[in-house]
């Protein structure tokens, strides 16, 4: 049981390049999330998916797109990377149980540097 996995661990991009961050969970969780974390700031929600086939914007969605490929996988795409997107990206998931369903489990993160 690997939990939440993310690839790649680290990536360097040039301004304008595109890339996709991959996330997968093997816990049979319905909900999945993408966050970014910048120095001195908390985790900020980019996009989330309450269940397979649905996605919705979070607090900071501009410049990103997502795909919930199936129940296990939730990818984040940067179409044209900008230096402001330099950050650490975390994927998370949580089970569908009410009264504890919001407990989120995080992947190891992807460090992205945009030059």
Residues 33-92 that bind another protein (CB under 8 A): 33, 35, 40-45, 48, 50, 58, 90
25 near another protein (CB under 8 A): no
Q: What DSSP letter does each residue of 39-100 carry, written as one string?
A: TTS-EEEEEEESSTT--EE-S--TTEEEEE-SSSBEEEEESS--GGG-EEEEEEEE-S-SSS
**Residues 17, 41 contacting (CB under 8 angstroms):** no
Q: How far is the CB of 20 from another protein (least distance, A)?
A: 20
Contact 106, 23 (CB under 8 A): no
Region of 14-22, 29-37, 68-76, 78-86 interacting with another protein (CB under 8 A) = 29-37
Q: Is residue 75 a contact partner of residue 23, using CB atoms and an 8 Å limit?
A: yes
Residue 13 beta carbon to another protein: minimum distance, rounded to whole angstroms: 20
**Is residue 22 involved in binding another protein (CB under 8 A)?**
no
- Is residue 102 part of the contact set for another protein (CB under 8 A)? yes
In the complex, the residues that contact another protein under the rule CB under 8 A are 31, 33, 35, 40-45, 48, 50, 58, 90, 94, 99-109
């Amino acid at each position: 049981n690997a939990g939440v996995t993310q690839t790649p661990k680290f990536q360097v991009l040039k301004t304008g390049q595109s890339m996709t961050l991959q996330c997968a969970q093997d816990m049979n969780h319905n909900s999945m999330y993408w966050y970014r974390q910048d120095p001195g700031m908390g985790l900020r929600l980019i996009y989330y998916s309450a269940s397979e086939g649905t996605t919705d914007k979070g607090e900071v969605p501009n410049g990103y797109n997502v795909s919930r490929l199936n129940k296990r996988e939730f990818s984040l795409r940067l179409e044209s990377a900008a230096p402001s997107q330099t950050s650490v990206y975390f994927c998370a998931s949580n089970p569908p149980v009410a009264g504890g369903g919001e407990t989120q489990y995080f992947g190891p993160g992807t460090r992205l540097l945009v030059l």
